[in-house]
Amino acid sequence: MSGPTSPLKAVRGTRDLLPPETALWSRVESVARDVFARYGFGEIRTPIFEATELFARGVGEETDIVSKEMYTWEDRARAQSEKAQSLTLRPENTAGVVRAYIEHKLGERGDLQKLFYIGPQFRRERPQRGRYRQFWQIGVEVLGPVSSGAESPVRDAEVLEMLATLLDELGVKGWQLALNSVGSAEDRKRYSVALREALAPVKDRMCEDNQRRAETNPLRVLDSKDPGDQEIIDALPKIADFLDDSSREHFAAVRAALDACGVAYTVNPRLVRGLDYYTRTTFEFTVPDGSGLGTQNALLGGGRYDGLSEMLGGPKAPGIGFAIGEDRLILVLQEQAETDVEREVALRLDAYIAPIGAAQEPNALRLARDLRARGLRVDLGEGTWKARKHFDVAERRHARCILFLGENEVRDGTYSLKRLNSSSPLVQNFDNFDLVVQEIKRASASGS
């Protein structure tokens, strides 16, 4: 062997999430869980890999996701009873949720299924800020038989209003909701034909990607951000002119319900979204430029998918859902935060214990145990450290106070407490555990 072996790194497009940042991830997830619970949602966890066919049928063969971004492998048979099978890491979670809905006959329960998920998704995209190959989504799906009200425009509005509440409670500033209707599967078909016709004479002037999309999936041309193609795209026919009466009425009712709740939105006729399963309402929430996302300004997207269950061999089960890009949400919250309070709160100790001499270490651990049992955030140092080092470590951990534990304290059952960031140089003595707990809590609450 020549030279040292180079250390291994995380695979391109994947990353490690470390403290203190993970505290923000936990907070986001717990606020989301809390909001979802208030709106009557229950959690679903589906496998992170599924049969490749699920995505080919559900998401659509012609989409970018299925045609070029999936992590797919041939899973060989291990036993006589097993067949070789093509499997794929899930690139999104809606198809998996609808598969589970069908498999477990959730429709037979009769009522509306309100489900949420939080988990990683995988797409082989070109990595950049806000775009990863493993990324997290927080999503919901609302679906059920027609009799459960799953098709009602009020459900669309409720989901959108819930998102507005969630983003507000998380403290996302300046979000904007863009809304559109892509109509029924038939409306889309007629619109695709019209688009293809309109694109035929002009597509040679467009970028390579759009030339290909014009052939395979003309709706995707509308998503294009290519600056040179915008003028052509703006002049293309609009989907609104291809909606049948029932889609038109549905969309009007969604907008009326949003107006009634006071949720602001703009209608964006180009918002058709890339996946094949969308019908009627489609939407996207974006944040203003300068919110930390660069060109990836879509925080979340979603829409209605009234025919998806049937596409996957299930019963009629109209539904609507969304997926928030959690990685992007975190980038925005970090960028918009005025201070790093988040980090401090996550790391801050209520008390730091400094054992004096190695012999006191077991007693220090015992004291830490008792304080933690009272709900305090506590850590302890090494008995061999000098006082200076204890102070340094305590300060780095944003501890509110230090408890010194020496032979005397252990013998007498007393506590010597020094408040940090306080003008008083005093070490206070307590001979009662409850009193010292009270004092630590007071120091934490007062922020000094």
Comparison of 295 and 384: residue with beta carbon closer to ligand AMP: 295
Comparison of 96 and 381: residue with beta carbon closer to ligand AMP: 96
Report DSSP letters for 384-416, one per residue. TS-HHHHHHHHHHTT-SEEEEE-HHHHHHT-EE
Please tell me whether residue 202 binds ligand AMP under the rule CB under 6 A.
no
Rounded least distance, CB 55 to ligand AMP, Å:
12
Rounded least distance, CB 90 to ligand AMP, Å:
11
Binder to ligand AMP among 58, 301, 381, 383 (CB under 6 A)? Answer: 301
Measured between alpha carbons, how far is 327 from 372 in angstroms, rounded to an integer?
Answer: 32
Binder to ligand AMP among 23, 202, 240, 298 (CB under 6 A)? Answer: 298
Count of residues for the chain?
A: 448
Comparison of 179 and 351: residue with beta carbon closer to ligand AMP: 179
Comparison of 298 and 337: residue with beta carbon closer to ligand AMP: 298
Rounded least distance, CB 134 to ligand AMP, Å:
8
Please tell me whether residue 90 binds ligand AMP under the rule CB under 6 A.
no
Comparison of 139 and 318: residue with beta carbon closer to ligand AMP: 139
Measured between alpha carbons, how far is 292 from 285 in angstroms, rounded to an integer?
Answer: 15
Structure tokens at 348: 């801050």
Sign of CA dihedral 268, 269, 270, 274: positive
Comparison of 25 and 132: residue with beta carbon closer to ligand AMP: 132
Rounded least distance, CB 144 to ligand AMP, Å:
22
Query: Would you give the binding string for ligand AMP spanning residues 91-130, x where CB under 6 A is met?
Result: -x------------------------------x-x----x
| Closest to 255 (Cα-Cα) out of 161, 358, 337, 351 | 161
Q: Return the range that interacts with ligand AMP (CB under 6 A); candidates 131-139, 211-219, 305-313, 354-362.
A: 131-139
Query: How many angstroms separate the Cα of 341 from the Cα of each of 272, 338, 348?
Result: 39, 8, 10
The number of angstroms, rounded, from the C-alpha of 447 to the middle of its chain's C-alpha atoms is 32
Whether 202 contacts 232, CB under 8 Å? yes
Measured between alpha carbons, how far is 101 from 314 in angstroms, rounded to an integer?
Answer: 9
Rounded least distance, CB 95 to ligand AMP, Å:
11
- Per CB under 6 A, which of residues 33..72 are in contact with ligand AMP? none
Query: How many angstroms separate the Cα of 137 from the Cα of each of 25, 66, 92, 120, 211?
Result: 12, 18, 8, 6, 31
Backbone angles phi and psi of 285, in degrees to 5 = -110, 130
Q: Return the range that interacts with ligand AMP (CB under 6 A); candidates 21-29, 198-206, 219-227, 295-303.
A: 295-303
Binder to ligand AMP among 142, 195, 299, 437 (CB under 6 A)? Answer: 299
Comparison of 266 and 432: residue with beta carbon closer to ligand AMP: 266
Query: Would you give the binding string for ligand AMP spanning residues 308-337, x where CB under 6 A is met?
Result: ---------------x-x-xx---------
Please tell me whether residue 132 binds ligand AMP under the rule CB under 6 A.
yes
Backbone angles phi and psi of 245, in degrees to 5 = -60, -40
Instruction: Classify strands 378-380 and 351-355 as parallel, antiparallel or unpaired.
Output: parallel
Binder to ligand AMP among 159, 263, 300, 371 (CB under 6 A)? Answer: 300
Give the strands of the sheet with 49-51, arranged side by side.
49-51, 85-89, 72-75
Comparison of 144 and 325: residue with beta carbon closer to ligand AMP: 325
Please tell me whether residue 135 binds ligand AMP under the rule CB under 6 A.
yes
Comparison of 329 and 440: residue with beta carbon closer to ligand AMP: 329
Neighbours of 378 (CB within 10 A): 21
Q: Return the range that interacts with ligand AMP (CB under 6 A); candidates 178-186, 292-300, 347-355, 378-386.
A: 292-300
Q: Which long-range contacts (CB under 8 A, 24 or more apart) does 412-421 make?
A: 417/351, 419/443, 419/448, 420/391, 420/394, 420/395, 421/448
Binding site for ligand AMP (CB under 6 A): 92, 123, 125, 130-132, 135, 137, 298-301, 323, 325, 327-328
